[in-house]
Amino acid sequence: MKNDDKIRDESLSEINSEKPIKDDDHDIIRRVLFESTNAYELLVVKYQGPVYNLFLRMIHDRNEAEELTQIVFIKAYEALPAFSFEYRFFSWLYRIAVNQALNELKKQRRFVDIEKIKNISEEAIEKDSDKNRLLQNAIDKLKDKYKAVIVLKYFQQLSYKEVAFALNITEKKVRSRLYDARLQLKEMLEHNTDYF
Amino acid sequence: MWFRKLRLNRLIKARMTGNISAEQEAKLNKMLQESDAEEKEYLRMQELKQQLESIGPANENIDVSVRVMQKISAVNHAENQKTHNFDVFNSYFNPLPARFAFVMIIGIIIGAGLTWMVTTNTGSMNSEMLSGSLSSSAKQGISYSSHNTTIKLVPYQIENLHYLNFIVDTRNETNFEVFFNQSDFIMKKSDYVTSQGNQSLSFNSGSVVFTANGITSFQIILEKVHRSQASVTVKTTQNQNNLITRQINFD
């Protein structure tokens, strides 16, 4: 299991439980706040991958994803004194990242054709089947709110609860929005491609 | 037809979002069995869901930690610099009461300055009106002090009204007699302002007699009926011993 997957699974299992949150990150946050700023690097190293990949899936530009990843970690650092220890740091960070991504998409209003992306990983493209490419292309044409829910649920593999937290909506709304997003994808793929 | 499609979509959504009842489940199965096209629609939705689930997370690696920490360090440095620039203010004026006091002192200074400017520029003070008042008549006042008695008389004048203010602090009963000529003055007021001890007050033609015990404040107001100089005599006794006898002149 890759490091990012492990982080996601730990986050997933704990955010789904009703028990008080035990998060090693909380100790690091306390160190950052009360002892040494340098401890923040531990959090950056731990979560830079998932955050970067979220941006990559949403924005499709490596340079921009890298830049936005840095911005998110700096924003999170600046907001750290207001961090509530009832949340997992990862979920909280994700919420900041998702908002950043949505703002960026809104700003740029970009609907990128995946075939035209220069910065996308060659390796990733090779791994994608034709179907996946068509699907990805359709996802990029979705409205931001549908795109975000698809990326978070299927690409970032967050739980419904985590997606709800990240988007600040209810779990029921997440399920409903996911269905609507899939329905739109189906219609796009039926009409414009030979996907099915 | 469209109604059936709408109903079918609702049932499919209910199943795929996990909110389907047994009754709805049965209805959906029946509808899907009745129409191959509708079943195909449903299967496409399922296929799409599975396809999405199979994509999995992106796993590209990146290392921005050094750059992030450098930026954070720069931000902290800038903030420290900012704090340093305001060190004096923060050190001395950080507690709220100190700030409040600082602002108040500045306010008093400005207020005093403005008052000075206004009084200097307008020159509205009527020197005629205050002639013979506290500043000039104070010299004629009485100031007496022994180990158990203090007496002060502060006379002042406003136009033709002459005020005699007695302030007494005594452990022994002290009697005061104030004499004036009725052709010079008309008595407008004669009364205790404050008194701790027994009060005793009497009037005769051209005189006021009162007693002070403890801390006492007494005021007499006389109206002068002409513009010539006139005098008032104040006599103070304690246990029938004379303490003070003073004549006070009013212009």
Q: Is the ipTM of this complex over 0.90?
A: no
B97–A contact, CB cutoff 8 A? no
A190 neighbourhood in chain B, CB within 8 Å:
44
Q: What is the mean pLDDT of residues A16-45?
A: 81
Contact A140, A111 (CB under 8 A): yes
pLDDT value of position A130: 76
Name the residue ranges covered by the structural domains of chain B.
2-49, 134-250
Q: Helices A171-192 and A160-167, interaxial angle, to 10°?
A: 90
Residue A162 forms contact with B (CB below 8 Å): no
Worst-scoring range by mean pLDDT, A108-112, B31-35, B91-95, B161-165?
A108-112
Decide: A162 and A87 in contact? Cβ < 8 Å.
Answer: no
Q: What is the pLDDT of residue A65?
A: 93
A44: contact with B, CB 8 A cutoff = yes
Nearest to A148 by CA among A191, A195, A81, A94: A94
Strand partners, B180: B232
Q: Residue B154's pLDDT is what?
A: 83
Residue-averaged pLDDT of chain A: 81
Instruction: Quote the pLDDT of residue B42.
Output: 87
| Cross-chain Cβ contact B16/A190 below 8 Å | no
Mutation for testing the A interface, residue in B39, B50, B62, B70 having most A CBs under 10 Å: B62
Alpha-helical segments (H) within A17-39: 24-34
Confidence of residue A29 (pLDDT cuts 50, 70, 90): very high
Q: With respect to CATH, is domain B134-250 assigned 2.60.40.740?
A: yes
DSSP, res B179: E
CB B69 within 8 A of CB A38: yes
CB nearest A135 (choices: B51, B61, B72): B51
Q: Which residue has the higher pLDDT, A12 or B79?
A: B79
3-state secondary structure at position B104? helix
- Residue B142, beta-bridge partner list: B153
Mean pLDDT of B110-126: 70
> Does residue B219 belong to the interface with chain A, where contact is any CB pair within 8 Å?
no
Q: With the C-alpha atoms ordered B215, B199, B204, B191, is the resulting torsion angle positive or negative? A: positive
Which of B48, B75, B76, B80 is the mutation pick for testing A, counting most A CBs within 10 A? Answer: B48
pLDDT tens track for A144-187: 999 999 999 988 888 899 999 999 999 999 999 999 999 999 99
Paired strand residues for B203? B208
Task: Please tell me whether residue A195 adopts helix, strand or coil conformation.
Answer: coil
Confidence category of residue B241, pLDDT binned at 50, 70, 90 = confident
CA nearest B12: which of B27, B74, B130? B27
Is it the case that residue B119 has pLDDT exceeding 90? Answer: no
Name the band, by pLDDT with cuts 50, 70 and 90, for residue B220. very high
pLDDT band for B180, please (50, 70, 90 cuts).
Answer: very high
Distance between CA atoms of residues A78 and A36, nearest Å: 14
Q: Is the pLDDT of residue B121 over 80?
A: no
B165-177 b/e (C-beta count within 10 Å ≥ 16 → b): bbbbbbeeebbbb
Give how far A55 is from chain B: nearest CA, Å.
10
Selected residue with higher pLDDT from B232 and A106:
B232
Q: Which residue of B has its CA nearest to A70?
A: B68
Mean pLDDT of chain B: 82
- Tell me, what's the pLDDT at A120? 46
* Structural domain that includes position A186: 3-192
Of A10-19, A105-114, B42-51, minimum mean pLDDT range: A10-19
pLDDT at B83: 60
Q: Is the sign of the CA dihedral B42, B48, B52, B55 positive or negative?
A: positive
A79 touches chain B (CB under 8 A): no
Q: What pTM, to 2 d.p., does this model score? A: 0.53
Residue by residue, DSSP assigns A125-181 as HHHS-HHHHHHHHHHHTS-HHHHHHHIIIIIS---HHHHHHHHTS-HHHHHHHHHHH
- Beta strand B142-145 pairing with B149-158: antiparallel
Q: Examine the pLDDT at B136 and tell me if it is beyond 50.
A: no
A155 exposure class (CB count in 10 Å sphere: 0-12, 13-18, 19+)? buried
**Cβ of A31 under 8 Å from any chain B Cβ?**
no
Q: Looking at the complex, does the CB of residue A176 fall below 8 Å from at least one CB of chain B?
A: yes
Instruction: Mutate one of B52, B63, B67, B75 to test the A interface: name it (highest A CB count within 10 A).
Output: B52
Which residues 59-78 in chain B show a CB within 8 A of chain A? 59-65, 67-69, 71-73, 75-76
- Integer Cα distance of A165 and A178 in angstroms: 15
B-chain residues within 8 Å CB-CB of A66?
Answer: 62, 64
User: What confidence category does residue B156 fall into, taking pLDDT thresholds of 50, 70 and 90?
Assistant: confident
User: Is it the case that residue A5 has pLDDT exceeding 60?
Assistant: no
User: Who among A37, A38, A48 is closest to B63 (CB)?
Assistant: A48
Look at chain A and report how many structural domains it folds into: 1
Across B140-164, b (16+ Cβ under 10 Å) vs e yields bbbeeeeeebebebbbbbeeeebbb
What proportion of chain A, given as a percentage, has pLDDT over 70?
A: 77
Does pLDDT of A126 surpass 70?
no
Chain B positions in Cβ-Cβ contact with residue A157 (cut-off 8 Å):
56-57
Separation between Cα atoms, residue A131 and residue A185, nearest integer Å: 12
Q: Is the pLDDT of residue B244 over 50?
A: yes
- Mean pLDDT within A126-146: 81
The percentage of residues in chain A with a pLDDT greater than 90, rounded to a whole number, is 46
Q: Do A9 and A2 meet the contact criterion of CB atoms below 8 Å apart?
A: no
- CATH label of the domain that carries residue A95: 1.10.1740.10
